[in-house]
Copies of this chain bind each other. A is one copy, B any other.
């Protein structure tokens, strides 16, 4: 199956997904982005056309992939003529129903991964979650998913929302803690490199162990002297001290009370 796609949005996710679909043998007809430089950059990678005008979006694609920020979504979508073709969004949190006013055929194509434009990913390893308004659209999206990923699953909007919340904790918040740890080290002129084996092992542990069983550190040991000493050292940065305190308390609670 070789299909023609249009990408609405040229951010991190659109950049990686569109290239994976192209390499799987499909064609990308056009890229839309409000930001011309983003549109041009992605269109070059995809050998596709581009536009910055919603009204000039090609009405003849098989599937429209929408990967826009919320504010752009409500502004841009009503301006596009989708010609009742299949329109899918790529968001973990948005319900499938937000597409119902734009086409008779719609769905969701959600790849669960953290994408940065400058970093390569192996799309085959990325779990993709599918939802569609009609069985025939579901069949098409499952097939497109299998072109790029070894793990394609049906999931409704309600469950997908919780999957996304879990991903925010396991990825976005985790990365913010890497950022905080780098800042703490930088102030003491310690290279971030020394933390890398620890960061990798912390992640690899939970590929094999239950996260609750992998927990180590002063909070799970209830080592209150060390926690107090750390809070004392962090008091110059109220935000870090507050986070340290509230997360330590959350660890206490979780590991003290049997769930």
- Chain A contacts to B: CB under 8 angstroms: 12, 69-70, 91, 93-94, 112-116, 118-119, 121, 125-127, 151, 153, 155, 159, 161-185, 187-188, 190, 192, 194-221, 223-226, 229-230, 233-234, 239, 242-244, 246-247, 250-251, 253-254, 259
Contact = CB atoms under 8 A, between A and B. Distances in A.
A165 B215 contact: no
A176 B93 contact: no
B185 A163 contact: yes
B233 A242 contact: no
A180 B217 CA distance: 16
A154 B119 CA distance: 34
Nearest to A203: B203
Contact of A243 (B161, B188, B247): B247
A114 B176 contact: no
A182 B198 contact: no
Given A114-B205, A116-B209, A174-B174, A179 B244 contact: no
A203 B113 CA distance: 12
Nearest to A207: B196
